[in-house]
Every structure is written in C-alpha cells, then in structure tokens.
Amino acid sequence: MTRVIIDIHILQTVPPSNLNRDDTGSPKTAVYGGVRRARVSSQAWKRATRKAFEDLLDPSELGVRTKRVAEQIANRMTALEPSLSSTEAVAVAVEVIKAATGAKSEVPKRKSAAGKTDQDAAAALPETGYLMFLSASQLDNLARLGVEGSKDITAFLKDKDFKNRVRQAADTRHSVDIALFGRMVADSADINVAAAAQVAHAISVHTVENESDYFTAVDDRSTDAEPGAGMIGIVDFNAATFYRYAALDVNRLAENLGTGLLEEASQTEPVRRAVEAFIKGFVLSMPTGKVNTFGNHTVPDLVLVKLRTTRPISFAAAFEEAIGAGDGQGGYLKGACERLAGYIPKLEKAYDLQEDTESWVVCASSATEALEEAGEQVSISQLLEAVGSAVTARLASGA
C-alpha cells in the first residue's frame, strides 16, 4: 500500500509571552543556524493539542493518562456493580491492571497511613509507578472484566482465557490521542503503541534574545506608614514568529485505530475524524504558559498542509539562515513567507516530490501573499473537509 503522509507547516507570530519555560523560568531557546532562537518544545504543543481534543471529540474517543488507574477502574466497577465496596473494587482493579499491563500499583509513601488520620488513610489509593495511558473504552472493558472476576480475582486470573481477555482489553480499541501520540508501557512492551504523529519543536525564524519584566504588587491594605511594594519580581519573556511543523502517518493512524473495531464499522470514518481533529487541534491550540500574564492569544498567520505519498518533509532548513527584519521597519512574517515561497518549489523539484502531492493553504494576512499559490486557498473549515475527504479517498482506494 502506498503511504499517506500529512505535513502541516505553520507560521505564527506571538507577542511578548512565555509559552514554555525552562528550569529557570525563562522561555526555552535553541541555537539553530549559529544564532539563538525562541523555542517551544514539542511536548508543550502536543499537550495543548490533546487539551483541544476535549472540545473537538467525544470523551469516549479519548484516553486518560494517569497513575491513578486503579481508581479509574474501581469507580467504573462500582457503577456497574453497586454491591461492590470501594475497597473491594480497588483491590480487584489492582490485580486487573497488573495482569493487563504488568504494572504494580502501590499507595505512595507520601500518602501512607503513617501520621495520617483514618480518613486520610482511607483516601490514600494505590498508584502505578509511572503514567499509564488507557482509552475510555479500555478502562470500561477492564472494569467489566473486574466485575466478572470480583468474587475471586486471583482464581480468575489463573484461567488462561480470562487472563488473555484482560490483556486484550488493554490493547484494543485505542483512543484517538493514543493512536496519534503513542503509548509506552514499561512493564509490557508488547502493548506499546507507536505514535502516528510527530511534532517538531517550534522555533523562531529569526534571532531572539529573552527580555525581563520587572514587576511590583501593592498591598491593598497597606498604610502610609508602610509605603512601597508588597511584592517585587521578574518574569522573562520574548516575542517571536515561529515555524511550527507536524507530520502524520495516516497508515499508522489507521492501523492504530483499526485494532478492535467491529467488522461492520467503517474503517475510514474513525481515521477521517482523527485527522481532522489533529489538524484543527494542532493549528489552533496554544500552550498556556504565563497566559494570564501576557494574554498572547494569536492564531497562525499561515497554514500549509501537504498530502504526500513518500515521507514526511519539514521546511525548517529554509530558516537555517535567520530572517532579518524587513524594510528597516521590523517584522519577520513577510520575509519568512518569501523565504518559503522560494525554498519549497526548488526542494520539491530537486526530489521529484510534485507527483501525487496535494496542497492546501490558509493565508490570514497580506504578509502571506508570497505563499497564496503554494496550494489551494481555503479557510480552516474548508481545509479540514478537503484533507478529510482526500484521506478517505486514498485509504479507500489503497493508493
């Protein structure tokens, strides 16, 4: 089967902000092309994209990433079987999790009964040693199996068929976010999920130096006898025009989502919904670092999406030489668009990438005019519909 690859290229200007902090509280940076650039980590933007899914997809299509898996399963068990006590349900859930993933669950030392009241001790629930990523459907199925074996879970798990059902429940019906971003289970590598999406660190197309904002806060109840600030501090920030990039392996996505689907269910509809949710979530999301301080609520100035049959291709190399401020008046967006407009055709011609490649472009300002012919001009809603339809057609035809 020919590969179906989606490349998403974004230029986005962000005013003074601190989207993604390092260990000192300063905005993250990176050296690229020999100069310092503003940077937002891929992890930060993937997190923002996952949060955006909450408004784009039904909760049943999403997963939960938590150490408190026993609590999640136990709550579902008591809802299914009210005669089970919370304590019984948690004890069964711990065994089910271990059988399904190999992960042990224990009450953390910081939450142990030592020095705690009886109420505190009762509220201390076992947790896995690392974050577990399970879909809502997987949690539901594990809870049903827990109820089924609740009379003697140890004996039930000695039955090979029952244990296989438990293992299968954790490795089928993957949620959209698990299918996209993958899952690693340290104790059971065989149920790992390879990510279908790859997100690059966003970097500024120009040189950036972080700045500092010195601020003070006044005590509302201070008197003339106590003049001055009640608090002083410094917050670092920068402003940048970012090049953002993500790639989506649609074949991998289809494989991840297809596991556990009913035979009569459409094999392309879940993929289309996931593709559209990922594009919209990635394009419109924003990491929330210091957002109340800076209110940096911008949307991309340019979105270029390419559907390929070869391999993912980033255009970051177009900005290896940093963009300079244009026309002596400042501004980097126009220069970045002109740089891409010259870079993309040469690259695609050199590597014979024009064939079987479809392109769409969303242009949001006059500064993006150089890229208006880089693809079919569309709005964001038209982009989602066009890409979704193209993906469906290619998967259906096997091309």
For residue 244, give the H/E element and its range: strand 231-249
Identify the top-confidence range among 201-215, 258-272, 316-330.
201-215
Asked whether residue 169 falls in the same domain as residue 87, the answer is: yes
Asked whether residue 28 falls in the same domain as residue 106, the answer is: no
Residue 167: pLDDT band by 50, 70, 90 thresholds? very high
Asked whether residue 20 falls in the same domain as residue 120, the answer is: no
- Sequence-distant (6+) residues with CB within 8 A of 221 are none
**Does residue 129 form part of some domain?**
yes
Single out the residue of 286, 316, 315 nearest to residue 299, CA to CA.
Answer: 286
Residue 186: how many other CB atoms lie within 10 Å? 13
pLDDT of residue 1: 60
Statement: residue 380 has pLDDT above 50: yes
Asked whether residue 128 falls in the same domain as residue 36, the answer is: no
162 HSE (CA, 13 A, CB side): 17
Distance of CA 286 to the CA centre of its chain: 11
Provide the domain limits for residue 13.
Answer: 5-56+244-397
**Does residue 197 form part of some domain?**
no
Q: How far is CA 141 from CA 63, 136, 237, 248, 287, in A?
A: 13, 9, 46, 29, 33
108 close to 73: Cβ distance less than 8 angstroms: no
Q: Rounded distance, CA 259 to CA 280, Å? A: 24
Is 366 or 264 the better-scoring residue by pLDDT?
366
Q: Rounded distance, CA 64 to CA 382, Å? A: 31
- pLDDT tens digit string along 241-254? 999 999 999 999 99
pLDDT of residue 75: 95
**Does residue 195 form part of some domain?**
no
**Does residue 214 form part of some domain?**
no
pTM for the complete prediction?
0.90
**Does residue 376 form part of some domain?**
yes
Of all residues in the chain, the percent with pLDDT exceeding 90 is 79
Statement: residue 259 has pLDDT above 50: no
- Sequence-distant (6+) residues with CB within 8 A of 164 are none
Asked whether residue 251 falls in the same domain as residue 379, the answer is: yes
Asked whether residue 79 falls in the same domain as residue 105, the answer is: yes
Asked whether residue 169 falls in the same domain as residue 263, the answer is: no
pLDDT of residue 36: 97
Q: Rounded distance, CA 237 to CA 20, Å? A: 10
Q: How far is CA 14 from CA 4, 38, 204, 205, 237, in A?
A: 32, 11, 10, 12, 11
Q: Rounded distance, CA 38 to CA 29, Å? A: 5
Asked whether residue 74 falls in the same domain as residue 149, the answer is: yes
Asked whether residue 332 falls in the same domain as residue 382, the answer is: yes
pLDDT of residue 39: 98
Residue 146: pLDDT band by 50, 70, 90 thresholds? very high
**Does residue 235 form part of some domain?**
no
Mean pLDDT score, 335-357:
93
Of all residues in the chain, the percent with pLDDT exceeding 70 is 93
Residue 386: pLDDT band by 50, 70, 90 thresholds? very high
pLDDT of residue 117: 54
pLDDT of residue 173: 85
Among the candidates 140, 174, 208, a domain finishes at 174
Asked which of 10-19, 81-90, 114-123 is least confident by mean pLDDT, the reply is 114-123
Mean pLDDT score, 91-98:
95
Asked whether residue 381 falls in the same domain as residue 357, the answer is: yes
Mean pLDDT score, 124-142:
93
Asked whether residue 259 falls in the same domain as residue 393, the answer is: yes
Among the candidates 126, 159, 174, a domain finishes at 174
Single out the residue of 365, 223, 228, 245 nearest to residue 304, CA to CA.
Answer: 245
Tokens linked to 121: 């001790």
Mean pLDDT score, 132-150:
94
Give me the number of domains the chain comprises: 2
**Does residue 225 form part of some domain?**
no
pLDDT of residue 123: 65
pLDDT of residue 269: 87
Mean pLDDT score, 386-392:
95
Q: Is the dihedral of CA 344, 346, 351, 356 positive or negative?
A: positive
Burial of 156 (0-12, 13-18, 19+ CB in 10 A): buried
**Does residue 363 form part of some domain?**
yes
Statement: residue 9 has pLDDT above 60: yes
Mean pLDDT score, 36-51:
97
Mean pLDDT score, 297-323:
96
Statement: residue 260 has pLDDT above 80: no
296 close to 64: Cβ distance less than 8 angstroms: no
Average pLDDT of the residues of the chain: 91
pLDDT of residue 219: 82
Asked whether residue 40 falls in the same domain as residue 159, the answer is: no
Among the candidates 174, 205, 224, a domain finishes at 174
SS3 label, residue 42: helix
Single out the residue of 243, 204, 203, 248 nearest to residue 343, CA to CA.
Answer: 243
- pLDDT tens digit string along 180-231? 999 999 888 889 999 999 999 999 999 999 999 988 888 887 777 777 777 8
